[in-house]
Amino acid sequence: MECVFGLVGNGFAIVAADTSAVHSILVHKSNEDKIMVLDSHKLVAASGESGDRVQFTEYIQKNVALYQFRNGIPLTTAAAANFTRGELATALRKNPYFVNILLAGYDKETGPSLYYIDYIATLHKVDKGAFGYGSYFCLSLMDRHYHSGMTVDEAIELVDKCIMEIRSRLVVAPPNFVIKIVDKDGAREYAWRESVKDTAVPAA
């Protein structure tokens, strides 16, 4: 089951997601990147129905880019989160997207922020959040060890604790995780945590 979690630290926000693409009992691939770089200073970590996840996050990404082209300035994280919620809410009673999202971003004026957006379009600004079966382990671990203003090293330590817990306690534990960070220097990949490596694709 897909695990996505994230937290806000001192001047940064960090999100981690598992990287397995699963259909029923089959693992298609174990290096599927589920954290999309929305724009220079935003990350969208999405979990849920794979088709909906890719479609919806790409739709949001392109619309956020369009706003920037039209208006010359990028959306704030709060605005992007509310836009995302609005799209989910409009689709909810027609053809709902089964995608849960953690939107992390950094704004110059307000600093780092993390938004929890449910698949039924419940929006809430949080300091720490998680989705999926992994949330049952991550949330309580984060409740215990999180404090506001954590450094990157402290946050990574906590993220690793969560990944260890998911690996050891979840019966269908995903083996690999990707960690991405967003701070004043932008949104970027921080690290991968792999315990199973896909075999390299042979050259044609």
Partner 1 sequence: MSIFEYNGSALVAMVGKNCFAIGSDRRLGVQLQTIATDFQRISKIHDRLFLGLSGLATDAQTLYQKLVFRHKLYQLREERDMKPETFASLVSALLYEKRFGPFFCQPVIAGLGDDDKPFICTMDSIGAKELAKDFVVAGTASESLYGACESMFKENMEPEELFETVSQALLSSVDRDCLSGWGGHVYVVTPTEVKERILKGRMD
Map residue 80 onto helix, strand or coil. Answer: helix
Beta strands in 68-185 (DSSP E): 99-107, 111-117, 123-126, 128-131, 177-183
Q: Which residue number, 62 or 169, has a Cβ lying nearer to partner 1?
A: 169
CB 158 within 8 A of CB 165: no
Shortest spacing between CB 121 and partner 1, in angstroms: 4
Shortest spacing between CB 13 and partner 1, in angstroms: 16
Please give the residue ranges that form the binding site for partner 1 (CB under 8 A): 85, 89, 92-93, 116, 118, 120-124, 126, 129, 135-136, 139
Q: Which residue number, 54 or 89, has a Cβ lying nearer to partner 1?
A: 89
d(CA 164, CA 174): 11
Q: Which residue number, 64 or 138, has a Cβ lying nearer to partner 1?
A: 138
CB 193 within 8 A of CB 177: yes
Q: Which residue number, 30 or 135, has a Cβ lying nearer to partner 1?
A: 135
CB 98 within 8 A of CB 52: yes
Q: Which residue number, 89 or 191, has a Cβ lying nearer to partner 1?
A: 89
Polymer length of the chain: 204
Shortest spacing between CB 137 and partner 1, in angstroms: 12
d(CA 109, CA 172): 41
d(CA 162, CA 56): 27
Residue 163 φ/ψ region, left for φ over 0, alpha for ψ in the -120 to 50 degree band, beta for the rest: alpha
Shortest spacing between CB 88 and partner 1, in angstroms: 8
Shortest spacing between CB 44 and partner 1, in angstroms: 18
